[in-house]
Structure 1
Amino acid sequence: MWGMVTPLQYGDPPHVGPFALQARLQTAPAGLVYLGQAPDGRVVSVAVLSSGAALDAAARDRFVTAIKDAQGRTGVRAWGASLVDRVRGRVSPDTPPVLAMQDGPAPWVAVPYVPNGPGAERFLDPVTVSGTLIGQRHGPDFAHYWLGDRTPALPAPPAPPPPPVATRRSVVLASTLLATLVLALLLVTWMLLFRAEDEPEPPRPLPNTQFVPTPPPEPASPEPQQPTPGPSGSGDGSQSPWPDDLFDGRGPI
């Protein structure tokens, strides 16, 4: 494997399948190669197509075909390829064994990581050009339209799990509990509304007595009487202490 190991960049996935990605190993014309770690701790090399190559059905088919061809061979043939396969550009003679793969709209492949050895980039070689029996297709006007795309084709996120299916017993219990709560709510509402109307309204309290102080009564002054003439005939004589009507006007005897 050639190329300088670089950190993961923006847009790189943290995981591909069960493998945790740690760094970039190579950026190829057809995709990207990552350094990853398997769940059991093994170091692996993971190759994914670029977004443009994954949208090309022919390029995607060449990538998946190379992976399946390497999976189908065992023993000595797992490390080599026939003359026709090499000429057609399917696999490389030093293709490593496949640990895991996934096809579909965003395929990927994982192989054991060998420092300075062949890795998952071998499966990206047949993607750029299919080749013929007389050589590879080349020319000034021949180029894949998706060349230059450096964004990885990421698999779609897994679908959310289906909602749990409730058993018949749980449904019956839930329905009973709901009916009980509704009945209790109706009973409380009836007690608050109708029972309040039946109760007599309590009498209103009398207003508080207010004491207003009044002034004490004043004695009435007697009216002045007209002076009466005395026996001497003077007008300023004092009135006889004996009233005239006591002795029929004759005075005391």
Structure 2
Amino acid sequence: MTATESQAEVRTADTPEDAPARVIPDALPLLPEDPPRVGEYWLRGRLGANAAGYLYTASADDGRSAVVAMMTEGSADDAAARDRFVNAVDELPDDGVLAHNDSDDDDLALWVALGPIRTDDGSSAASDERLIAERRGEDVLSAVLMDRVPQNGRVRGPDFRHYWEGRRRPGLFRIWPLPWPNILRPASRWALVFALVTMALIMALAVFLAWLLFRNAEPLEPEPVIPTPSNTVTVTVTPTTPPPNTGSTGPTPTTSSTPTTGTPTGTLPSGTPPTNPGDKF
């Protein structure tokens, strides 16, 4: 069945071509758990949901609109439910399936983009195309849920219920490249740029204040000893106590700067004999 025949089924026989478009309820907003994008389609809102999956209104980067049907977390983990989803998509007309992911992605939920949906120009044809896409998405999810299977015989026993019906979160999805900043509105992009510029100004101000605080700081006491390329250091030795009065006249001790090699040593206290390296053993 082609899209034209499907549109003819949706329209009533007495509806003229120039009739006003049908009033289609707006989609519900996306929740934080919903994927922002699947494939090349950005999701805009929820159109419906059941235990098998969700229906989203979506649009591509080039402006093409579509209806996306995506499995839930529970149904995506059931191999039989995945097979029913694939079989239901295969039964749809070729011109009604715009895109879908690979059924071999066992770790991802299956989805399919349905259409085509022309730009909403206020005509009845644009509304009918969206209604047809929604109905096809509902048929796919109903095939997964098996809620339209005819009953054979009399109803007996408890009602049938899938074991995964309680897991109704959207199935796993993968987005690459990241959805931002393409999904941002112009106002959101300016807000992001303003936030980045503000952060840069705050960091520059913090560095400037740190420079003002520490530019006149006094050097450390004592100053660190920096070896020369020849592995020699200059150590300044200042006696803290006067030498004992031995009665002999001699030169007055003064501060001297003596280049030494190796590790600098301090001044031994007065009256301490020099240490013999052999005494250590």
What TM-score, normalized to structure 1? 0.49
TM-score by length of 2: 0.45
For the pair shown, which has the larger CA radius of gyration, 1 or 2?
Answer: 1
